Structure 1
Protein backbone atom coordinates (compact mmCIF):
# COMPACT_ATOMS: atom_id res chain seq x y z
CA UNK A 1 0.00 0.00 0.00
CA UNK A 2 2.71 2.43 1.05
CA UNK A 3 4.87 1.34 -1.88
CA UNK A 4 2.03 1.99 -4.30
CA UNK A 5 1.45 5.47 -2.88
CA UNK A 6 5.17 6.25 -3.19
CA UNK A 7 5.24 5.03 -6.78
CA UNK A 8 2.17 7.13 -7.54
CA UNK A 9 3.86 10.19 -6.03
CA UNK A 10 6.98 9.64 -8.13
CA UNK A 11 4.85 9.23 -11.23
CA UNK A 12 3.06 12.51 -10.52
CA UNK A 13 6.37 14.27 -10.03
CA UNK A 14 7.72 12.94 -13.33
CA UNK A 15 4.54 14.02 -15.09
CA UNK A 16 4.86 17.50 -13.56
CA UNK A 17 8.49 17.76 -14.69
CA UNK A 18 7.56 16.67 -18.21
CA UNK A 19 4.82 19.31 -18.32
CA UNK A 20 7.18 21.99 -17.05
CA UNK A 21 9.85 21.06 -19.60
CA UNK A 22 7.24 21.09 -22.37
CA UNK A 23 6.13 24.55 -21.30
CA UNK A 24 9.72 25.80 -21.35
CA UNK A 25 10.03 24.71 -24.99
CA UNK A 26 7.05 26.79 -26.13
CA UNK A 27 8.32 29.68 -28.25
CA UNK A 28 5.26 31.80 -27.57
CA UNK A 29 6.19 31.97 -23.87
CA UNK A 30 9.87 32.64 -24.51
CA UNK A 31 9.81 36.39 -23.75
CA UNK A 32 7.97 35.94 -20.44
CA UNK A 33 10.15 33.02 -19.39
CA UNK A 34 13.29 34.99 -20.29
CA UNK A 35 12.15 37.74 -17.91
CA UNK A 36 11.72 35.21 -15.10
CA UNK A 37 15.10 33.60 -15.72
CA UNK A 38 16.65 37.07 -15.92
CA UNK A 39 15.30 37.76 -12.43
CA UNK A 40 16.82 34.49 -11.23
CA UNK A 41 20.21 35.17 -12.82
CA UNK A 42 20.27 38.73 -11.46
CA UNK A 43 19.66 37.48 -7.92
CA UNK A 44 22.31 34.76 -8.13
CA UNK A 45 24.94 36.95 -9.80
CA UNK A 46 24.36 39.80 -7.34
CA UNK A 47 24.90 37.44 -4.42
CA UNK A 48 28.04 35.94 -5.97
CA UNK A 49 29.56 39.37 -6.57
CA UNK A 50 28.60 41.09 -3.31
CA UNK A 51 29.10 38.32 -0.73
CA UNK A 52 32.92 37.97 -1.07
CA UNK A 53 33.39 41.74 -1.46
CA UNK A 54 31.28 42.47 1.62
CA UNK A 55 33.08 39.74 3.57
CA UNK A 56 36.53 41.17 2.85
CA UNK A 57 35.62 44.84 3.33
CA UNK A 58 33.66 44.19 6.54
CA UNK A 59 36.36 42.18 8.27
CA UNK A 60 39.14 44.48 7.07
CA UNK A 61 37.66 47.87 7.86
CA UNK A 62 34.57 47.61 10.08
CA UNK A 63 34.49 47.28 13.83
CA UNK A 64 31.85 45.52 15.89
CA UNK A 65 30.97 42.04 17.07
CA UNK A 66 31.05 38.99 14.84
CA UNK A 67 27.25 38.97 14.78
CA UNK A 68 27.12 42.59 13.67
CA UNK A 69 29.66 41.95 10.92
CA UNK A 70 27.79 38.89 9.64
CA UNK A 71 24.55 40.87 9.66
CA UNK A 72 26.18 43.67 7.64
CA UNK A 73 27.49 41.14 5.10
CA UNK A 74 24.05 39.52 4.78
CA UNK A 75 22.32 42.88 4.35
CA UNK A 76 24.77 44.07 1.68
CA UNK A 77 24.52 40.76 -0.20
CA UNK A 78 20.73 40.79 -0.09
CA UNK A 79 20.53 44.43 -1.26
CA UNK A 80 22.86 43.83 -4.23
CA UNK A 81 21.15 40.57 -5.19
CA UNK A 82 17.65 42.08 -4.90
CA UNK A 83 18.48 45.22 -6.88
CA UNK A 84 20.16 43.34 -9.70
CA UNK A 85 17.26 40.87 -9.89
CA UNK A 86 14.70 43.70 -10.01
CA UNK A 87 16.72 45.56 -12.64
CA UNK A 88 17.11 42.57 -14.97
CA UNK A 89 13.40 41.78 -14.56
CA UNK A 90 12.43 45.37 -15.38
CA UNK A 91 14.87 45.71 -18.28
CA UNK A 92 13.93 42.47 -19.99
CA UNK A 93 10.23 43.09 -19.44
CA UNK A 94 10.42 46.54 -21.02
CA UNK A 95 12.53 45.21 -23.89
CA UNK A 96 9.93 42.54 -24.62
CA UNK A 97 7.08 45.06 -24.41
CA UNK A 98 8.77 47.52 -26.77
CA UNK A 99 9.64 44.82 -29.26
CA UNK A 100 6.05 43.55 -29.23
CA UNK A 101 4.61 47.04 -29.68
CA UNK A 102 6.90 47.99 -32.59
CA UNK A 103 7.21 44.54 -34.11
CA UNK A 104 11.01 44.56 -33.96
CA UNK A 105 13.96 45.35 -31.71
CA UNK A 106 15.87 48.61 -32.24
CA UNK A 107 18.94 49.98 -30.38
CA UNK A 108 16.98 52.73 -28.62
CA UNK A 109 14.88 50.10 -26.85
CA UNK A 110 17.87 48.99 -24.80
CA UNK A 111 18.76 52.55 -23.81
CA UNK A 112 15.20 53.46 -22.79
CA UNK A 113 14.52 50.22 -20.92
CA UNK A 114 17.81 50.49 -18.99
CA UNK A 115 17.21 54.17 -18.19
CA UNK A 116 13.81 53.36 -16.69
CA UNK A 117 15.19 50.38 -14.79
CA UNK A 118 18.14 52.40 -13.53
CA UNK A 119 15.85 55.16 -12.29
CA UNK A 120 13.43 52.80 -10.56
CA UNK A 121 15.88 50.30 -9.08
CA UNK A 122 19.19 52.14 -8.64
CA UNK A 123 17.90 55.68 -8.18
CA UNK A 124 18.38 55.73 -4.41
CA UNK A 125 21.76 57.16 -3.39
CA UNK A 126 23.13 54.52 -1.02
CA UNK A 127 26.51 52.76 -0.69
CA UNK A 128 25.52 49.65 -2.67
CA UNK A 129 24.02 51.55 -5.59
CA UNK A 130 26.87 54.06 -5.56
CA UNK A 131 29.48 51.31 -5.91
CA UNK A 132 27.57 49.68 -8.77
CA UNK A 133 27.17 52.96 -10.65
CA UNK A 134 30.86 53.84 -10.25
CA UNK A 135 31.84 50.35 -11.42
CA UNK A 136 29.71 50.79 -14.54
CA UNK A 137 30.83 54.37 -15.17
CA UNK A 138 34.50 53.44 -15.51
CA UNK A 139 33.68 50.71 -18.00
CA UNK A 140 31.34 52.99 -19.95
CA UNK A 141 34.13 55.54 -20.39
CA UNK A 142 36.48 52.86 -21.69
CA UNK A 143 33.77 51.44 -23.95
CA UNK A 144 32.80 54.83 -25.41
CA UNK A 145 36.46 55.65 -26.05
CA UNK A 146 36.94 52.41 -27.99
CA UNK A 147 33.68 52.96 -29.88
CA UNK A 148 34.75 56.48 -30.85
CA UNK A 149 37.95 55.07 -32.37
CA UNK A 150 36.07 52.27 -34.16
CA UNK A 151 33.61 54.74 -35.68
CA UNK A 152 36.37 57.14 -36.69
CA UNK A 153 35.21 59.99 -34.45
CA UNK A 154 38.71 60.21 -32.99
CA UNK A 155 41.90 59.00 -34.70
CA UNK A 156 43.54 55.73 -33.77
CA UNK A 157 46.29 56.54 -31.24
CA UNK A 158 49.80 55.94 -32.54
CA UNK A 159 50.84 54.55 -29.16
CA UNK A 160 48.91 52.68 -26.48
CA UNK A 161 47.22 55.42 -24.37
CA UNK A 162 46.79 53.16 -21.34
CA UNK A 163 50.00 54.27 -19.53
CA UNK A 164 48.85 57.90 -19.75
CA UNK A 165 45.36 56.97 -18.53
CA UNK A 166 46.85 55.03 -15.60
CA UNK A 167 49.06 57.98 -14.66
CA UNK A 168 46.18 60.46 -14.77
CA UNK A 169 43.80 58.20 -12.82
CA UNK A 170 46.28 57.54 -10.01
CA UNK A 171 47.47 61.13 -9.94
CA UNK A 172 43.91 62.43 -9.65
CA UNK A 173 42.70 59.96 -7.05
CA UNK A 174 45.68 60.50 -4.74
CA UNK A 175 45.34 64.26 -5.08
CA UNK A 176 41.68 63.95 -4.10
CA UNK A 177 42.57 61.66 -1.19
CA UNK A 178 45.22 64.02 0.16
CA UNK A 179 43.34 67.31 -0.25
CA UNK A 180 39.63 66.62 -0.90
CA UNK A 181 39.06 63.28 0.80
CA UNK A 182 35.39 63.86 1.50
CA UNK A 183 34.65 63.69 -2.24
CA UNK A 184 35.71 60.03 -2.44
CA UNK A 185 33.48 57.07 -1.78
CA UNK A 186 33.78 55.78 1.85
CA UNK A 187 35.16 52.33 1.02
CA UNK A 188 37.85 53.93 -1.17
CA UNK A 189 38.72 56.29 1.66
CA UNK A 190 39.09 53.29 3.99
CA UNK A 191 41.31 51.44 1.54
CA UNK A 192 43.55 54.44 0.96
CA UNK A 193 43.78 55.25 4.64
CA UNK A 194 44.99 51.69 5.25
CA UNK A 195 47.56 51.92 2.43
CA UNK A 196 48.91 55.45 2.72
CA UNK A 197 48.25 56.68 6.27
CA UNK A 198 48.33 53.62 8.49
CA UNK A 199 51.69 52.72 6.93
CA UNK A 200 53.11 55.89 8.52
CA UNK A 201 52.48 54.70 12.09
CA UNK A 202 54.14 51.91 14.11
CA UNK A 203 55.55 51.35 17.59
CA UNK A 204 57.52 48.13 17.39
CA UNK A 205 57.97 45.05 15.22
CA UNK A 206 54.48 43.75 16.01
CA UNK A 207 52.62 46.61 14.34
CA UNK A 208 55.35 47.15 11.74
CA UNK A 209 55.18 43.69 10.15
CA UNK A 210 52.56 41.52 11.84
CA UNK A 211 49.65 43.89 12.40
CA UNK A 212 48.46 47.17 11.00
CA UNK A 213 47.62 48.60 14.43
CA UNK A 214 48.38 47.56 17.96
CA UNK A 215 45.45 46.27 19.96
CA UNK A 216 47.12 46.44 23.41
CA UNK A 217 47.91 49.46 25.54
CA UNK A 218 51.71 49.47 25.20
Structure 2
Protein backbone atom coordinates (compact mmCIF):
# COMPACT_ATOMS: atom_id res chain seq x y z
CA UNK A 1 0.00 0.00 0.00
CA UNK A 2 2.85 2.39 0.88
CA UNK A 3 4.42 1.70 -2.54
CA UNK A 4 1.17 2.56 -4.36
CA UNK A 5 0.80 5.78 -2.33
CA UNK A 6 4.42 6.72 -3.07
CA UNK A 7 3.92 6.07 -6.79
CA UNK A 8 0.75 8.22 -6.84
CA UNK A 9 2.49 11.01 -4.92
CA UNK A 10 5.40 10.87 -7.37
CA UNK A 11 3.00 11.11 -10.34
CA UNK A 12 1.14 14.04 -8.79
CA UNK A 13 4.37 15.90 -7.97
CA UNK A 14 5.86 15.28 -11.43
CA UNK A 15 3.41 17.56 -13.23
CA UNK A 16 2.68 14.90 -15.87
CA UNK A 17 -0.92 14.48 -17.05
CA UNK A 18 -1.74 17.81 -15.38
CA UNK A 19 -4.82 18.52 -17.51
CA UNK A 20 -6.31 15.04 -16.94
CA UNK A 21 -5.58 15.11 -13.22
CA UNK A 22 -7.11 18.60 -12.96
CA UNK A 23 -10.34 17.15 -14.36
CA UNK A 24 -10.40 14.51 -11.61
CA UNK A 25 -9.53 17.07 -8.91
CA UNK A 26 -12.29 19.33 -10.26
CA UNK A 27 -14.79 16.49 -9.84
CA UNK A 28 -13.65 16.06 -6.24
CA UNK A 29 -13.74 19.78 -5.45
CA UNK A 30 -17.19 20.18 -7.00
CA UNK A 31 -18.59 17.40 -4.83
CA UNK A 32 -17.02 18.73 -1.63
CA UNK A 33 -18.00 22.34 -2.29
CA UNK A 34 -21.57 21.31 -3.11
CA UNK A 35 -21.90 19.65 0.31
CA UNK A 36 -20.30 22.61 2.12
CA UNK A 37 -22.67 25.09 0.47
CA UNK A 38 -25.94 23.14 0.39
CA UNK A 39 -25.98 21.18 3.68
CA UNK A 40 -26.00 24.19 6.06
CA UNK A 41 -28.40 26.16 3.86
CA UNK A 42 -30.80 23.22 3.48
CA UNK A 43 -30.62 22.48 7.22
CA UNK A 44 -31.57 26.03 8.21
CA UNK A 45 -34.25 26.58 5.55
CA UNK A 46 -35.84 23.15 6.03
CA UNK A 47 -36.15 23.41 9.80
CA UNK A 48 -37.33 27.03 9.63
CA UNK A 49 -39.93 26.77 6.90
CA UNK A 50 -40.71 23.19 5.86
CA UNK A 51 -43.56 21.13 7.28
CA UNK A 52 -43.27 17.42 7.99
CA UNK A 53 -41.73 14.97 10.40
CA UNK A 54 -38.13 15.16 11.61
CA UNK A 55 -37.15 12.24 9.33
CA UNK A 56 -38.88 13.81 6.32
CA UNK A 57 -36.84 16.96 6.91
CA UNK A 58 -33.58 15.02 7.25
CA UNK A 59 -34.38 13.10 4.04
CA UNK A 60 -35.09 16.36 2.21
CA UNK A 61 -31.81 17.92 3.42
CA UNK A 62 -29.86 14.83 2.33
CA UNK A 63 -31.52 14.77 -1.11
CA UNK A 64 -30.92 18.48 -1.78
CA UNK A 65 -27.32 18.22 -0.58
CA UNK A 66 -26.69 15.18 -2.77
CA UNK A 67 -28.26 16.85 -5.82
CA UNK A 68 -26.27 20.07 -5.37
CA UNK A 69 -23.01 18.19 -4.78
CA UNK A 70 -23.54 15.79 -7.69
CA UNK A 71 -24.51 18.56 -10.11
CA UNK A 72 -21.59 20.77 -9.18
CA UNK A 73 -19.13 17.86 -9.40
CA UNK A 74 -20.55 16.80 -12.77
CA UNK A 75 -20.45 20.34 -14.12
CA UNK A 76 -16.85 21.00 -13.03
CA UNK A 77 -15.79 17.65 -14.50
CA UNK A 78 -17.57 18.39 -17.79
CA UNK A 79 -16.26 21.95 -18.01
CA UNK A 80 -12.64 21.04 -17.31
CA UNK A 81 -12.75 18.05 -19.64
CA UNK A 82 -14.19 20.08 -22.53
CA UNK A 83 -11.80 23.02 -22.07
CA UNK A 84 -8.84 20.61 -21.92
CA UNK A 85 -10.02 18.89 -25.13
CA UNK A 86 -10.48 22.19 -26.97
CA UNK A 87 -7.08 23.41 -25.81
CA UNK A 88 -5.52 20.15 -27.03
CA UNK A 89 -7.31 20.36 -30.40
CA UNK A 90 -6.27 23.99 -31.01
CA UNK A 91 -2.84 23.73 -29.30
CA UNK A 92 -3.63 26.71 -27.10
CA UNK A 93 -6.24 28.03 -24.70
CA UNK A 94 -8.75 30.50 -26.17
CA UNK A 95 -11.38 32.64 -24.45
CA UNK A 96 -14.34 31.13 -26.27
CA UNK A 97 -13.42 27.66 -24.98
CA UNK A 98 -14.70 28.68 -21.55
CA UNK A 99 -18.03 29.86 -22.89
CA UNK A 100 -18.62 26.79 -25.08
CA UNK A 101 -17.64 24.30 -22.36
CA UNK A 102 -19.77 26.04 -19.71
CA UNK A 103 -22.68 26.43 -22.14
CA UNK A 104 -22.72 22.68 -22.83
CA UNK A 105 -22.21 21.80 -19.16
CA UNK A 106 -24.87 24.27 -18.07
CA UNK A 107 -27.40 22.80 -20.49
CA UNK A 108 -26.64 19.19 -19.57
CA UNK A 109 -26.25 19.58 -15.79
CA UNK A 110 -28.10 22.70 -14.68
CA UNK A 111 -30.75 22.74 -17.42
CA UNK A 112 -33.11 20.42 -15.55
CA UNK A 113 -35.86 22.56 -14.01
CA UNK A 114 -35.83 21.73 -10.28
CA UNK A 115 -35.59 23.81 -7.07
CA UNK A 116 -31.83 23.27 -6.53
CA UNK A 117 -30.90 24.20 -10.11
CA UNK A 118 -33.25 27.19 -10.07
CA UNK A 119 -31.58 28.54 -6.95
CA UNK A 120 -28.06 28.03 -8.32
CA UNK A 121 -28.93 29.64 -11.67
CA UNK A 122 -30.64 32.61 -9.97
CA UNK A 123 -27.62 33.07 -7.71
CA UNK A 124 -25.32 33.13 -10.73
CA UNK A 125 -27.58 35.48 -12.70
CA UNK A 126 -27.27 38.20 -10.05
CA UNK A 127 -23.49 37.78 -9.98
CA UNK A 128 -23.03 37.92 -13.75
CA UNK A 129 -25.21 41.02 -14.07
CA UNK A 130 -22.93 42.73 -11.56
CA UNK A 131 -19.91 41.35 -13.41
CA UNK A 132 -21.13 42.56 -16.81
CA UNK A 133 -21.63 46.09 -15.49
CA UNK A 134 -18.13 46.07 -13.98
CA UNK A 135 -16.75 44.69 -17.26
CA UNK A 136 -18.51 47.47 -19.15
CA UNK A 137 -16.80 50.04 -16.92
CA UNK A 138 -13.45 48.28 -17.26
CA UNK A 139 -13.72 48.25 -21.08
CA UNK A 140 -14.93 51.88 -21.14
CA UNK A 141 -18.28 50.87 -22.65
CA UNK A 142 -20.01 52.32 -19.58
CA UNK A 143 -18.79 55.54 -17.97
CA UNK A 144 -17.62 55.06 -14.40
CA UNK A 145 -20.14 56.81 -12.13
CA UNK A 146 -18.86 59.86 -10.30
CA UNK A 147 -20.84 58.93 -7.18
CA UNK A 148 -21.71 55.61 -5.53
CA UNK A 149 -24.72 54.11 -7.36
CA UNK A 150 -25.07 51.16 -4.97
CA UNK A 151 -27.79 52.86 -2.85
CA UNK A 152 -29.90 53.35 -6.00
CA UNK A 153 -29.32 49.73 -6.98
CA UNK A 154 -30.46 48.60 -3.52
CA UNK A 155 -33.52 50.85 -3.68
CA UNK A 156 -34.53 49.48 -7.09
CA UNK A 157 -34.04 45.82 -6.08
CA UNK A 158 -36.05 46.15 -2.85
CA UNK A 159 -38.74 48.29 -4.47
CA UNK A 160 -39.32 45.71 -7.21
CA UNK A 161 -39.22 42.63 -4.96
CA UNK A 162 -41.69 44.04 -2.41
CA UNK A 163 -44.05 45.17 -5.17
CA UNK A 164 -43.87 41.67 -6.68
CA UNK A 165 -44.42 40.05 -3.27
CA UNK A 166 -47.42 42.22 -2.41
CA UNK A 167 -49.17 42.01 -5.77
CA UNK A 168 -47.68 39.14 -7.84
CA UNK A 169 -46.04 36.82 -5.32
CA UNK A 170 -46.71 33.72 -7.42
CA UNK A 171 -43.91 34.81 -9.78
CA UNK A 172 -41.30 34.64 -7.00
CA UNK A 173 -39.32 31.55 -6.00
CA UNK A 174 -41.07 29.46 -3.30
CA UNK A 175 -38.16 29.88 -0.86
CA UNK A 176 -38.27 33.66 -1.28
CA UNK A 177 -42.05 33.62 -0.87
CA UNK A 178 -41.64 31.68 2.40
CA UNK A 179 -39.04 34.11 3.74
CA UNK A 180 -41.07 37.16 2.81
CA UNK A 181 -44.32 35.67 4.16
CA UNK A 182 -42.58 35.19 7.51
CA UNK A 183 -41.22 38.75 7.49
CA UNK A 184 -44.13 40.74 6.09
CA UNK A 185 -47.36 38.71 6.45
CA UNK A 186 -46.78 36.79 9.67
CA UNK A 187 -45.72 39.99 11.45
CA UNK A 188 -49.33 41.19 11.02
CA UNK A 189 -50.74 38.27 13.04
CA UNK A 190 -50.80 37.85 16.86
CA UNK A 191 -53.28 36.95 19.57
CA UNK A 192 -51.39 37.47 22.81
CA UNK A 193 -47.94 38.23 24.22
CA UNK A 194 -46.80 34.64 23.57
CA UNK A 195 -47.22 34.74 19.76
CA UNK A 196 -46.32 38.44 19.62
CA UNK A 197 -42.82 38.11 21.08
CA UNK A 198 -41.90 34.47 21.66
CA UNK A 199 -43.45 32.48 18.81
CA UNK A 200 -44.42 33.50 15.32
CA UNK A 201 -48.01 32.22 15.39
Q: TM-score, normalised by structure 2?
A: 0.99
Q: 1:129 aligned to 2:123?
A: no
Unaligned runs of 5+ in 2: none
After TM superposition, give the deviation of residue 23 of structure 1 in Å.
Answer: 1.7
Identify the residue that residue 41 of structure 1 maps to in structure 2: 29
Identify the residue that residue 62 of structure 1 maps to in structure 2: 50
Q: 1:193 aligned to 2:188?
A: no
Q: What is the CA–CA distance in structure 2 between the aligned matches of 1:112 and 1:168, rounded to whole Å?
A: 33
Query: Which deviates more, 177-186 or 19-28?
Result: 19-28
Identify the residue that residue 167 of structure 1 maps to in structure 2: 155
After TM superposition, give the deviation of residue 154 of structure 1 in Å.
Answer: 1.0
Q: What is the CA–CA distance in structure 1 between the aligned matches of 2:60 and 2:142, rounded to whole Å?
A: 46
Identify the residue that residue 7 of structure 2 maps to in structure 1: 19
Identify the residue that residue 4 of structure 1 maps to in structure 2: none
Q: What is the CA–CA distance in structure 2 between the aligned matches of 1:173 and 1:109, rounded to whole Å?
A: 36
After TM superposition, give the deviation of residue 22 of structure 1 in Å.
Answer: 1.4
Q: What is the CA–CA distance in structure 2 between the aligned matches of 1:129 and 1:43, rounded to whole Å?
A: 15
SS in 1 for 2:17: helix
SS in 1 for 2:102: helix
Identify the residue that residue 118 of structure 1 maps to in structure 2: 106
Work out which of the two has the higher radius of gyration on C-alpha atoms and give 1 or 2: 1
Alpha-carbon displacement from aligned partner over 1:44-102 (angstroms, at most 9, x marks no partner): 00000000000011000011110000000000000000000000000000010000000
Q: 1:208 aligned to 2:193?
A: no
Identify the residue that residue 5 of structure 1 maps to in structure 2: none
Q: 1:82 aligned to 2:70?
A: yes
**When the two structures are aligned, how many residues end up with a matched partner?**
201
Unaligned runs of 5+ in 1: 1-12, 214-218
Q: TM-score, normalised by structure 1?
A: 0.91
After TM superposition, give the deviation of residue 168 of structure 1 in Å.
Answer: 0.1
Q: 1:95 aligned to 2:75?
A: no
The CA RMSD measured in Å over matched residues stands at 0.7
Q: 1:155 aligned to 2:143?
A: yes
